[in-house]
Amino acid sequence: MEFFCSKCDGTLVGVLNGVTMAKRCRSVDGSDTLDITCSNCPVTKGDRIVFTDGQGIGAEYLVQSVQAVRGEEQPTITIQCSNSVAELSSVYVEDLRGTAATAEARFKDLLAGTRWDVGYVENGSPETAQGDYAFYHTNVLKAIQATCKTFGLEFYTSVELDGNHIVSRKINAVEQRGEKTSLKRFEYSRDLKSIKRTVNAANVITRLYVWGKSISQGEQKTEDGETVFTDSEGFEL
């Protein structure tokens, strides 16, 4: 599998050489990341990594960070990427409304004027086959995620490649990604040779306390509830 690096406008930078690790993680909520370790290559933040996966579907990822390691051995770089659909998070939606719209119709309205088109979209749950919508002061990516939640859909992206050049980008949404009639179920202590779980190290906030305005230094209340100000020795000003 070859990984091509290009600029935002499609200008080819080169091919990633000496790839020793490529890890792709995709979730049903649309989150999609790619981590690559390879030999030195002129890759910078904002570049695109393009390839065709094992299913013959084109993929494009946006470079988020690049870590270069230089030592006694050959220099290596680790590239952290997110699916290029992340660029839609910077496309602002001020006020977009519609009536009796299907999920596909909403996608078309949201993607108008962007580099993305609507691909294959299923109807979703019968109870919400169509309806009114209003997107206000948000971004296109959040609106797409909200639409999928409303219709019970899971979205994924696909790109069409001509050699190493992208000719189209599409948003697809289905009721369930993967095989709907899978004959295999993986569980702890069975079927798996190993499994890895990462727990977020950040503190979890489960309760917030809201306090009213406090009495500031030099401010006191009289018996009648009036505010008086005093100096450092307690004398009224």
pLDDT in tens, 143-158: 999 999 989 899 999 9
Closest residue by Cα to residue 150 from 110, 200, 91: 110
In DSSP terms, which residues pair with 6 in a beta bridge? Answer: 12, 48
pLDDT number for residue 206: 76
For tokens 């095989």, what's the residue? 179
Angle at alpha carbon of residue 154, lines to 113 and 174, rounded to 5° = 85
Residue 6 · residue 16 · CB < 8 Å: no
Closest residue by Cα to residue 103 from 134, 86, 127, 124: 124
Closest residue by Cα to residue 17 from 3, 28, 30, 6: 3
Residue bearing the bigger pLDDT, 218 or 55:
55
Angle at alpha carbon of residue 184, lines to 182 and 188, rounded to 5° = 130
205 has a pLDDT exceeding 80? no
Q: How many helices (H) and strands (E) does the chain have?
A: 2, 14
pTM score of the predicted model: 0.70
- H-type alpha helices, 112-211: 140-151
Give the torsion through C-alpha atoms of 88, 93, 97, 101, to 10 deg. Answer: 0
Integer Cα distance of 65 and 17 in angstroms = 18
pLDDT number for residue 198: 67
Strands 76-83, 92-101: pairing is: unpaired
DSSP 30: S
pLDDT (tens digit per residue) in 172-189: 999 888 776 666 666 666
Whole-angstrom CA distances from 15 to 57, 77, 236 are 18, 14, 77
